[in-house]
Chains A and B, each alone.
Chain A
Amino acid sequence: MKYLDEYRDPAGCRRLAKEIRTTATRSWTIMEVCGGQTHGLLRHGIDRELDGVVRLIHGPGCPVCVTPLESIDFALDLARRQDVLLTSFGDMLRVPGSRQRLLEGRGETGNVGIVYSPLDAIRLAEEQPDRQIVFFAVGFETTAPATALAVRRAAELGLDNFSLLVAHVCVLPAMETLAANPNSSVQGFLAAGHVCTVTGHACYEEFVSRFRLPVVVTGFEPIDLLAGILQCVEQLERGEASVANCYGRSVRTDGNTHAVELMGEVYEVCDRPWRGFGVVPGGGLKLRPKYASFDATERFDFNSLPIVEPKECRSGEVLSGQIKPTDCECFGTRCTPESPMGAPMVSTEGACSAYYQYGAAESTALTEGAKS
């Protein structure tokens, strides 16, 4: 596919990896923020290829993973109602709540439906006027414009059987929380390319001047990932810290202004608890009062039961980059993608599932064609 295949060229990958090894005079610790990047790095064997030169710490950029248990329990509660069809992305529906999961293997716990887009949920609401269609809105700034658009369309169509359970999160406040932690060993960040496609990268200037850490906007294909790492290593070697854009084909300085306006019209920033982090100030989005009638938490009652976090699961430490998934005693034994304890083992963006999936893989972008 155009604009994908050319960024997977194995010879190009090897050249960039060699350049990184030549440039680095010591080992640097870099965090890739987005879970999509984590999967790319592991799938293509980039982490192993750069072993000893670059230590990659996996960031919190898995929205499914940081969604608080209370929201998942609310979703489970909604799915048990006869008049409700709860919809979301497949990953979200597989995450365990306190007591059960929305999708148990192939069976469903309640009335749930996987959709590719929140706009599909709008179509369902039009087709089934006697049923309440709720979309569980998870995701970073990449996804928020799509759910905001769904709300705008529902308002325009006068749909009174559509609502959102909003659990959107914002990535920059979480990076600030990580960077401000005195125990953090992160020396540079690969910023999430598709979040920046929406938000732009001008918003990182203040972060860079405050923390003196390089931020390199990075894409997801192996060439993009290696180019981002090279740019970050070059800055670190020169003792510099600036915002660089290595995903220019998609990211503009000010992002996508239409998408930003759409988000701002429907959502406002709020404090939000992140699983594994606690409350992140400014770390979430909620519906503005003028769209409150589309808020599932306003429309439906929810008697929240005490939250039961699985004791053995160390996903909080994984999400904040303190440990690697393989450091957890349950990894691959009591916790697997088929029987997960925590969200990072469920989500296709979770670090645990990436390690489980690619841990033993020998093929890499650097040794052969990396077609997925």
Chain B
Amino acid sequence: MTPMCLAIPGKVIKWIERESPFATATVEFGGVRRRVSMDCVPEADEGEYVIVHAGIAISRIDRSEAMRVLETLEELELAELRESVDDLPIDRPGTVRGTP
């Protein structure tokens, strides 16, 4: 069953037809190839990723934007690491742990 607003990313393998309203390309989804309508993404290049819903590509994936949320995650991971380093019990000579 196809959820109504489900759209999945696929890689444009080969343009078949450029003419509107019949623009078509072969697009690959995890190894499975399908013919997809390309009328809404006429600028898409072969090798590029598009998002496909109900047989038509509705957007081209922006690669730098795709990294953004993952970069935020990396920042969170670094912050977590720093915290855990701060929490490490470090014995320094001449100091008593727990004092300011």
Q: Which residues of A contact B (CB under 8 A)?
A: 1-4, 6-7, 9, 11-12, 15-16, 19, 34-36, 39, 61-64, 89-91, 116-120, 138-140, 142-143, 145-146, 149, 152-153, 156, 192, 194-195, 197-198, 220, 223-224, 227, 246, 248-252, 256, 258-259, 262, 347-349
CA distance A62 to B7 in the complex (A): 15
Show 9 A/B contacts (Cβ-Cβ < 8 Å), sorted by A.
A12-B70, A16-B76, A156-B22, A192-B5, A256-B59, A348-B2, A348-B3, A348-B4, A349-B3
Which B-chain residue is minimally distant from A347 (CB atoms)?
Answer: B4
CA distance A164 to B2 in the complex (A): 19
- Bitwise interface map of B from 67 to 94 toward A, beta carbon under 8 Å scored 1, else 0: 0111011001100100000000000000
**Which among B40, B63, B70, B73 is the interface contact of A259 at CB below 8 angstroms?**
B40
* Contact of A145 with B69 in the complex, beta carbons under 8 Å: no
CA distance A347 to B6 in the complex (A): 12
Which A-chain residue is minimally distant from B65 (CB atoms)?
Answer: A248
**Which among A90, A248, A250 is the interface contact of B2 at CB below 8 angstroms?**
A90
Q: Known: A140-B5, A142-B4, A258-B39. Is A152-B58 also a contact (CB below 8 A)?
A: no
Residues of A within 8 A of B54 (CB): 89, 116-118, 139, 143, 146
CB distance from B24 to the nearest CB of A (A): 9
Q: Which 4 A-B pairs have the closest CB atoms?
A: A117-B55, A248-B65, A249-B66, A3-B9
Which A-chain residue is minimally distant from B2 (CB atoms)?
Answer: A89
* Contact of A1 with B29 in the complex, beta carbons under 8 Å: yes
* Contact of A227 with B72 in the complex, beta carbons under 8 Å: yes
Question: Chain B at the A interface: mostly helix, strand, loop or mixed?
Answer: mixed
* Contact of B39 with A4 in the complex, beta carbons under 8 Å: no
CB distance from A259 to the nearest CB of B (A): 4
Residues of B within 8 A of A139 (CB): 4-5, 54
Which B-chain residue is minimally distant from A142 (CB atoms)?
Answer: B5
CA distance A201 to B40 in the complex (A): 18
CA distance A139 to B61 in the complex (A): 22
CA distance A223 to B39 in the complex (A): 30
Residues of B within 8 A of A1 (CB): 8-9, 29-30
CA distance A369 to B56 in the complex (A): 30
* Most chain A CB neighbours (cut-off 10 Å) among B8, B22, B29, B72: B72
Residues of B within 8 A of A117 (CB): 37, 54-56
**Which among B5, B21, B42, B49 is the interface contact of A195 at CB below 8 angstroms?**
B5
CB distance from A118 to the nearest CB of B (A): 7
* Contact of A119 with B56 in the complex, beta carbons under 8 Å: yes
Residues of B within 8 A of A3 (CB): 9, 49, 61, 66
Residues of A within 8 A of B22 (CB): 153, 156
* Contact of B2 with A194 in the complex, beta carbons under 8 Å: no
* Contact of B40 with A256 in the complex, beta carbons under 8 Å: yes
**Which among A91, A149, A252, A347 is the interface contact of B21 at CB below 8 angstroms?**
A149
CA distance A89 to B3 in the complex (A): 9
Cβ of B41 under 8 Å from chain A: yes
* Most chain A CB neighbours (cut-off 10 Å) among B1, B30, B37, B69: B69
Residues of B within 8 A of A63 (CB): 4-5
Residues of B within 8 A of A7 (CB): 69
Residues of B within 8 A of A259 (CB): 40, 58
Which A-chain residue is minimally distant from B11 (CB atoms)?
Answer: A2
CB distance from B11 to the nearest CB of A (A): 7
* Contact of A249 with B65 in the complex, beta carbons under 8 Å: yes
CA distance A349 to B30 in the complex (A): 23
CA distance A354 to B55 in the complex (A): 25
* Contact of B56 with A16 in the complex, beta carbons under 8 Å: no
- Bitwise interface map of B from 2 to 45 toward A, beta carbon under 8 Å scored 1, else 0: 11111111010000000001100000011000000101111000
Residues of A within 8 A of B29 (CB): 1
* Contact of A12 with B55 in the complex, beta carbons under 8 Å: no
* Contact of A35 with B5 in the complex, beta carbons under 8 Å: yes
